[in-house]
Amino acid sequence: MSDQVLLAALLSYVAGAVTIAAVALILLLRRSVRLRHGMDRLTDELREMAHELREEIARRNGPEVQEDRVVLKEMSDHVKALRQTVAFSDQKLQDVRLQLRDLHADLKDRLAQSSYTLRRTLMDHERLIVELLAKAQPDHRPSDSRPSDGRPIAALDRGMTAAPAVSPQDGAEPAAEEPAAIPEPFRRSDPRRAEPT
């Protein structure tokens, strides 16, 4: 049950991190689209102003143009205003380019940080899951090699011998080992003990 809860928490954390990253990316993309639309509007305004300027110049250069200082002054003021507008629009476009560059760098840093944090979190949870699974594994040791109190059996620790060998007394030779008894059906006949015919 604890493993399922931990896995559900891990999945919810990953889903939350992915959702936050997706929302941040969507907001940045929407802002960049808004700035791009602003740039398009400024470009259209500049084109309209240039078209009006060309029409005004063509009209001023027409046959009915009056050589009068007032008209020339108005044209000069209009051209000066157009230059100021163009300079202001160029400054705005430069600011937009800087903002787009900053947004791109910020988005790259945020995505890298989110990816690093997500990898670290996944590694930590994976290690925790491995530790919990290792703790949850049952003990597969033989049941007859250790009594109920947890101490090893002395006979198994000493080996397969039932009892230790008894050392001979001082000055006495060790007793000869008796051969093991062989069952009757497996005994071989001794030719030296064979009866003479």
pLDDT tens digits for 24-51? 888 888 888 888 888 888 888 888 888 8
Average pLDDT over residues 56-61: 75
Among candidate residues 31, 14, 170, 28, the one with its CA nearest the CA of residue 109: 28
What pLDDT is recorded for position 42?
Answer: 84
Average pLDDT estimate for 88-105: 88
- The Cα 91–Cα 194 span in angstroms is 129
Q: How far is CA 130 from CA 69, 138, 185, in A?
A: 90, 15, 60
pLDDT for the residue numbered 73: 80
In a 3-state reduction of DSSP, which class is residue 153?
coil
Residues, the chain = 197
> Per-residue confidence at 6, pLDDT binned at 50, 70, 90?
confident
CA distances from residue 18 to 15, 58, 95, 178 in whole angstroms, order as listed = 5, 59, 31, 82
Give the CA radius of gyration of the chain.
Answer: 50
pLDDT at 115 over 80: yes
Burial 33-44 (b: 16+ CB within 10 A, else e): eebeeebeebee
Residue 14 has what pLDDT? 77
Q: Is the pLDDT of residue 186 over 80?
A: no
Please measure the distance between the N-terminal and C-terminal CA atoms of the chain and give it in whole angstroms. 87
Q: What is the pLDDT at residue 158?
A: 45
DSSP structure class, residue 104: H
